[in-house]
Chain A
């Protein structure tokens, strides 16, 4: 059954591509995208979106890693449980609510949007950094310590490399959520591809909304793919072999 499914895959792909092409033509998407009055805007929105994501992710990654690492140090281990609880509570708050709250307190524009995106993206990164480092078997740290490795080297050579794939999962989750939430940032005046989607919905202009929705989806899928590639590059081969066993 599975084999048949696999063999059908290629036909499905062609059918989907053809279907998409026909629909794109029918709803006027292609016409919209090549319209000289429209496509410069698409590009601007795309860049706005990308900048929101890149800036907020860069800052969130630094903060998230730092928080995760600090919480696993001996001195702060006691509060790690509490912080973990707060983080998971924070993650239950819907993205739209986070944006709305940021707007209520900081007003409209790009800055409140980036602020909300940072806060929201820190959570999965910090959580997975914390969880990843805690999951490193204690005997590895014991062995490193017993061999005379200074604490900073244990962190860099043992703890972080062995936690990389868990941290990367957190980064990936944060990235996907971030791209999706950035599409809502238009609502608080930060632009981005959400502009095309929301305007398209309210005006019932299919071609416009697709011109926003398709690039956003594409961006998320590419980011997901890049994270996977990144994993192959930075996770030690030894660890990948170990997880296969």
Chain B
């Protein structure tokens, strides 16, 4: 847990004094990723640098698990926190293993323990230890270097990680991938993480909470959904962008809106004419074809009308989505591309569990905004 209590930072003295942070109060709970978000010069990086005493605090206090950092020796304090920066900062004169081993070595771990830890971390970051242990940073791609940078931050298994735009220097495709990997790792190791970013997409994706800074002040501190659906003022609304409803969709998973009991289900082994009759009687325009509990696609009345064989012969393919990992944003995007209003939802094994439709999505978005409206009303 990191607690920021009336934190104020003023650079310079007298007439040249600049207030970089003005009375910041918030708490990062154990095991949470909090993204410090805002335009450049807003104070997000300063807040981070105060946390590991790279800059000294002017007024107020920062405490870790109730212990004020003012009481802790700065070198000891930093060794307790993982530190990952945008420039990666791998030491070019050291091998990958030596880079990862820096903090464990500073802490005086025995050699075999360090070696085991290095291999463990390389595995965790998807780098084969036998291949990469003795290489030098210059021999790695940017994405690989940043993975090592993260591994180095995690080396001594610190409770807290400070990450200063850690994925900022990586190309967008690799960035997505590394973000996903990191989230997967974090779901296991549950570190308390302060994460600086200037990218709203990254903040929504990575953050359990977002701390939005502007001009040295903490403007809003909340979970991403609330920041998106209920921006506190015009600055926040502008910063999250006019497409914030779409961003909310990015946060929602398919499982939240799945219709688990759709009526228009047809088995792939059914006779086409039987299926045609079934659809006509129930006034369905199309049917979803499921076979052996796997979604195959869909059929329309027109498909079936003059067909005498099995349904499986005329089925049209279309994409299906995993309930846990797919976001509604992706689903909506496919709906727009395919001009279809319904898709199948599958579980981890690929088994059919229900459908998701345009109406379901729209209802969910409206609901998330009306929830907020209700809350507003209650608070008043």
Contacts and interface: CB of A to CB of B under 8 A. Distances in A.
User: Are A and B close enough to touch in the complex, i.e. CB under 8 Å?
Assistant: yes
Interface residues of A, number: 25
Given A140-B91, A236-B93, A238-B95, A147 B78 contact: yes
Contact of B91 (A150, A158, A245): A158
Interface stretch (B82-90, B118-126, B333-341): B82-90
A238 B92 contact: yes
B75 A150 contact: yes
A241 interface: yes
A80 interface: no
Contact of B83 (A137, A147, A158, A161): A147
Given A139-B85, A145-B54, A237-B136, A157 B76 contact: no
A146 B83 contact: yes
Interface string B43-78: 000000000101000000000000000000001111
A149 B79 CA distance: 8
B231 to A, nearest CB: 33
B232 to A, nearest CB: 32
B77 A137 contact: no
Contact of A148 (B88, B93, B106): B106
Interface residues of B, number: 29
Nearest to A241: B138
Q: Which of B75, B103, B162 has the most CB of A within 10 A?
A: B75
Interface string B99-136: 00011001000000000000000000000000000001
Interface in A112-166: 137, 139-140, 142-150, 153, 157-158, 161-162
Contacts of A153: 106
Contact of A239 (B88, B89, B93): B93
Contact of A143 (B80, B89, B106): B89
Contact of A147 (B79, B92, B138): B79
B372 interface: no
A229 interface: no
B85 A161 contact: no
B262 to A, nearest CB: 54
Contacts of A149: 75, 102, 106
Nearest to A162: B93
Contacts of A93: none
A162 B138 CA distance: 13
B137 A242 contact: yes
B139 interface: yes
A238 B137 contact: yes
B93 A147 contact: no
A236 B89 contact: no
A143 B146 CA distance: 13
B305 interface: no
B285 interface: no
Contacts of B85: 139, 142-143, 146
Interface in A49-72: none
Contacts of A137: 87, 89
Contact of B78 (A146, A157, A241): A146
Contacts of B138: 238-239, 241-242, 244-245
B92 A239 contact: yes
B93 A238 contact: yes
Contacts of B106: 147-149, 153
Nearest to A140: B89
B89 A142 contact: yes
A147 B103 contact: yes
Q: Which of A137, A236, A245 has the most CB of B within 10 A?
A: A236
Contacts of B162: 146
Interface of A: 137, 139-140, 142-150, 153, 157-158, 161-162, 236-239, 241-242, 244-245
Closest 7 CB pairs of A and B: A143-B89, A238-B136, A148-B78, A148-B79, A236-B93, A146-B83, A242-B138
12 contacts: A139-B87, A140-B92, A142-B89, A146-B54, A146-B78, A149-B102, A157-B94, A236-B92, A238-B92, A238-B93, A239-B92, A242-B92
Given A147-B83, A238-B94, 4 more contacts: A143-B87, A143-B88, A162-B92, A239-B92
